[in-house]
Structure 1
Amino acid sequence: MLKTFLAAIIVTLTAPALAQPAMERVPDRPAGEGEGPFETLLIRGATMIDGTGAPPEGPVDIIVRNNRIAAIARGGGADIAADRVIEASGMYIMPGFVDTHGHNGDPAKAPQPSYGFKLWLAHGVTSVRGVGFGFGPNDPSIDQKRRSAANTITAPRLFAYTVPGAVGPYGPIDSAEKGRDWVRWIKAEGYDGIKFFNNEPPHILEAILDEAERQGLGSVAHLGQRGVADVNARKAVELGLDGVTHFYGHFESLLDKSRLPQYPADYNYLDEQSRFAWVARLADHVGEPGSEKWNEYIDYLIDNDVTLSPTFNIYSASRDVMKARNLEWHDKYTLPSLNSFYEPSLTNHGSYYHDWTSEDETAWRAFYRKWFDLTREFKDRGGRVTAGSDPGYIYQTWGFAYVGELEMLREAGLTPLEVMQAATINGAREIYDSKGIEPPMGSITVGKLADLVIVPENPLANLKVLYGTGHTRLNRERNELETIGGVRWTIKDGIVFDAPKLLEDVARMVEQQKAAQE
């Protein structure tokens, strides 16, 4: 069994082309699924949270013509003829959310990509950076990106990143020249950027990053532990990396008493229980927040315009596996195949809590404290933080995981307005900075694309109202439980999606799979 596990992990880390051989094709968007775009759409009476960090203001009327925000009438009272009017009095309107760390299934757990796409849209996510959506000769990323742009499928706006050598005719990237050729090839194919797993030697990584900048492609890295002896986060930034996702590479840049992590004698990277149980103990090998080394490292990241996409949520089960396993949306909205994938396993990546103890959870809670501190200090000094959810692993289901990430950004110390900023304009700018242009979405601004989310309750007061399952509270006047919240409408490209109906579609997918397994 251990040999099977090791083989599966080696495939996952070294041959992503094998990971998704048989994903289903996304069906065309059926008639009636989403309305518009309209020649004129009027959203009337909402309180606006514009994404820039500005305070809420309302009521406002927002006028959309086709797919652009044409006017914002502060104080309301817009007197125009409209093809569609959304009465949003008492509701809150924000820019569509941007998920900067997306994947979309594989045949074993969620073979139909529309499952994840609809969950994202139902939670207000109108743009997703796929890192990636697939790999190898059957990579669906570019096809899905183009179909989404044409709105022939029900999906967020998609941005496609890929891994060096995972697509294209070049095979393994084993020279700087080949790396540059590969970058030019993915640019011509329509990819938006590159995701690194720290598998390249520094001179090849540097060449790829340099060519990516020349070609206007973004870069982000999961700085895996097998390469961190040569390239930690500080070194990757020195070589030209734009963004760091997860925690990898940060603490290895802050080691207090050694140059390399001091692994225990029985450590085995290919045994994920060993790997992830030890990760939390890495926090014991670095100094305290506020020390000279911490301050110098954070300043270095900011001076080099790095973006952090921490994805706190994806490892949150490490703090409390029982809670993660019993999240209230699993029964209705998590596919049985996905729930099976989440269960402890020797073969499924991320299902590493084989014998997860209270000591492991305590260590992870301590690890999060330092990870939160690092992110908060980076943000406080002017660094850009974005919201990415990395769904489909470790009990993190699409859409719900994104809201969970917003809650954890709040826990890390971002204010509610800063959380909204991370979820909107910050994510948009991370994606578009490499292109050298201001993003066409990410804030409610005249002239920008009509990517918007409308919620009946105030997310600045309670982020839980963004969950598709809503927020349960006691009505003190009636002494009865009631459920409030959930996104009401998600607007992408001027097309109005009924968020509750999208969730009903997902619930039907889950019920159909359950029935097929009986």
Structure 2
Amino acid sequence: MFRSILLAIASLWAVAASAQTGMEPVPERAASEGQGPYSTVIVRGATMIDGTGAPPEGPVDIVIEDNRIAAIARGGVPQTALDEAVRVIDARGMYVMPGFVDVHGHNGDPRKAPQPSYGYKLWLAHGVTTVRGVSFGFGPDSDDLDHKVRSAANTIVAPRLFAYAVLGDKWSGGPISTPAKAREWVRWAAAAGYDGIKFFNTDAPDVMAAAIDEAEKQKLGTVAHLGQRGVAQVNAAKAVEMGLGGVTHFYGHMESLLKDGALPRYPNAYNYLDEQSRFSEVARLADQIVEPGSDPWNAYVDHLLESGVTLSPTFNIYAASRDVMRERNADWHEKYTLPSLMNFYAPSLTNHGSYYHDWSTADEVAWRKFYGPWMQLTNEFKNKGGRVTVGSDPGYIYQTWGFAYIGEFEMLQEAGFAPLEVIQAATMNGADEIYQAKSTPAPFGTIKVGKLADLVIAPENPLANFKTLYGTGHLRLNRETNVLERVGGVRWTIKDGIVYDAHALLKDVEMMVAEKKAAPE
């Protein structure tokens, strides 16, 4: 009986997840939302972190002409240039970086965040100028491509959007059951304007292989969530042999490193459709893998490197699994998390990711242990030359847009990344992952002459403390006055040469949340 109920609930969730009807239209960008683009902007006197991994340097003046970086003046431009510029941003004492790239984005749905500009503004307020949606929405009625076009034209307030579609989704051509059908769908997706494909490895291996091969021919990117339902056939080791471009989350890695047997050993009562069971037991895979640092472990890391795959771990999205109380009570929820989103996050039998129905100390301890090999694998892959990017997967498990992205910075540092390596992952690496499939150099992701004018400017040194990038800032005791002060946050985000006031964006979101809280139920 209980299994029947779970199956019914899962079926209802799948239908709800695939339907985007009821989403609100994104309003046109008002004249007061962002300033520019200008013919000439100068970012004056900042310390530059250019995204390549090079050390900070400053002060520098960055000259922007018609949405392109025209010059980087170490020591400053002449006063005449400042006088002639249409806009000068006084960034003396501040830090400037390339706009951040979130490679794992979703929009909300009518149940939790029906207005997409809610997430878009939170992303921009945290310096995110580019987002890869995997997917932004599901089903044929999703607005992925419309939002992509409108963002490119800057007629909406949104980061630059790259739209990936799940294999078989969004078209009316029927199920994808053969390699030939998979190739047909890929060609359709490319013609429709999608930038890449997201795989859930529930398709037959020959179907997935054909889709990856056709995607390469069509210059579409590929990324996969190699979940438990398909990992017996295609784990990460096998997927990269097929030519998969990116692996997101931890799925597929542990199953490629099992020390006893070819399959994970779940309890006999395990039920994938019971999400408490699913997410509780997956952490126990850490007890079933080979010893980190052993020959089989090293061989697997080398296998990933040789394949050229990109890893986007999204450590942040499962952070509640190791401390649900902390994530539930994060500083930003009161002002910036919609009440409908908080309701969605709460333990539930119907909402995906709300799985801590009776989450125990043992569950949290298991997840803390699980992060050990997961982080070690990611860090060693990076140390050997592998590309790691930053994705946040927001809208689930107490991970709210923008804030979740900065949370990933902190967790990458916990995994062993130096702060400069984190910024590199968030900027150059993210841009390169998106553009590698297109066989063209990324036009953003580093601060270089000729690149697009996507920049983020912050008053505090992020390399000293990533917490200063959160929209809520960072609490610091002034040791001279003994007064507690809130410092940090992003000050300006520049996307396509348009200067967004991060404080104003956050105020817009705060008003959205306040209005929803004040509305009668």
Q: Shorter-normalised TM-score: what interval?
A: over 0.9
Aligned partner of 2:425 in structure 1 is: 422
Aligned partner of 1:504 in structure 2 is: 507
Select the residue among 174, 185, 195 that pairs with 1:171: 174
Aligned partner of 1:56 in structure 2 is: 56
Select the residue among 63, 66, 87 that pairs with 2:90: 87
CA deviations over 1:367-399 (Å, ceiling 9, x no partner): 001101000110000000000000000000000
Aligned partner of 2:10 in structure 1 is: 9
CA deviations over 1:427-476 (Å, ceiling 9, x no partner): 00000000001100000000000000000000000000100000001101
Aligned partner of 1:334 in structure 2 is: 337
Instruction: State the superposition RMSD in angstroms.
Output: 1.1
Select the residue among 446, 449, 452 that pairs with 1:446: 449
**Aligned runs of 1:481-492 on 2, under 5 Å?**
481-492=484-495
In the alignment of these two chains, the number of paired residues is: 517
In the alignment, the residues of structure 2 paired with residue 49 and residue 107 of structure 1 have an alpha-carbon distance, to the nearest angstrom, of: 39
CA contact (8 A) 2:98 2:444 kept: yes
Q: Does 1:200 align with 2:203?
A: yes
User: SS of the residue aligned with 2:46?
Assistant: strand
User: SS of the residue aligned with 1:517?
Assistant: coil
User: SS of the residue aligned with 1:109?
Assistant: coil
CA contact (8 A) 2:235 2:255 kept: yes
In the alignment, the residues of structure 2 paired with residue 223 and residue 470 of structure 1 have an alpha-carbon distance, to the nearest angstrom, of: 35
Q: 1:169: how far off? A: 2.0
CA contact (8 A) 1:12 1:19 kept: no
Select the residue among 210, 235, 244 that pairs with 2:213: 210
In the alignment, the residues of structure 1 paired with residue 497 and residue 129 of structure 2 have an alpha-carbon distance, to the nearest angstrom, of: 11
Aligned partner of 1:71 in structure 2 is: 71
In the alignment, the residues of structure 2 paired with residue 7 and residue 197 of structure 1 have an alpha-carbon distance, to the nearest angstrom, of: 21
Aligned partner of 2:394 in structure 1 is: 391
Q: 1:4: how far off? A: 5.1
Q: 1:12: how far off? A: 4.7
Aligned partner of 1:348 in structure 2 is: 351
User: SS of the residue aligned with 2:230?
Assistant: coil
In the alignment, the residues of structure 2 paired with residue 165 and residue 203 of structure 1 have an alpha-carbon distance, to the nearest angstrom, of: 15
CA deviations over 1:232-255 (Å, ceiling 9, x no partner): 001111111000000000000000
Structure 1 residues 8 and 446 mapped into 2: Cα distance closer, same or farther (>3 Å)?
farther
Q: 1:289: how far off? A: 1.1
Identity of aligned residues (%): 68
CA contact (8 A) 1:11 1:18 kept: no
In the alignment, the residues of structure 1 paired with residue 6 and residue 498 of structure 2 have an alpha-carbon distance, to the nearest angstrom, of: 45
User: SS of the residue aligned with 2:434?
Assistant: helix
User: SS of the residue aligned with 2:189?
Assistant: helix
Q: Does 1:315 align with 2:318?
A: yes
**Aligned runs of 1:27-426 on 2, under 5 Å?**
27-79=27-79, 80=81, 81-426=84-429
Select the residue among 442, 460, 469 that pairs with 2:463: 460
CA contact (8 A) 2:13 2:351 kept: no
User: SS of the residue aligned with 2:413?
Assistant: helix
Q: 1:77: how far off? A: 3.4
User: SS of the residue aligned with 1:260?
Assistant: coil
In the alignment, the residues of structure 2 paired with residue 315 and residue 83 of structure 1 have an alpha-carbon distance, to the nearest angstrom, of: 45
Range with bigger deviation, 299-308 or 20-29 = 20-29
Structure 1 residues 2 and 498 mapped into 2: Cα distance closer, same or farther (>3 Å)?
farther
Give unmatched runs, 5+ long, in structure 2.
none
User: SS of the residue aligned with 1:42?
Assistant: strand
In the alignment, the residues of structure 1 paired with residue 298 and residue 245 of structure 2 have an alpha-carbon distance, to the nearest angstrom, of: 20
User: SS of the residue aligned with 1:402?
Assistant: helix
TM-score, structure 2 normalization: 0.98
Q: 1:8: how far off? A: 3.7
Range with bigger deviation, 133-142 or 478-487 = 133-142
In the alignment, the residues of structure 2 paired with residue 407 and residue 264 of structure 1 have an alpha-carbon distance, to the nearest angstrom, of: 34
In the alignment, the residues of structure 1 paired with residue 181 and residue 10 of structure 2 have an alpha-carbon distance, to the nearest angstrom, of: 26
User: SS of the residue aligned with 2:476?
Assistant: strand
In the alignment, the residues of structure 1 paired with residue 431 and residue 404 of structure 2 have an alpha-carbon distance, to the nearest angstrom, of: 19
In the alignment, the residues of structure 2 paired with residue 406 and residue 236 of structure 1 have an alpha-carbon distance, to the nearest angstrom, of: 27
Letter in 1 for 2:455: L
Q: 1:76: how far off? A: 1.5
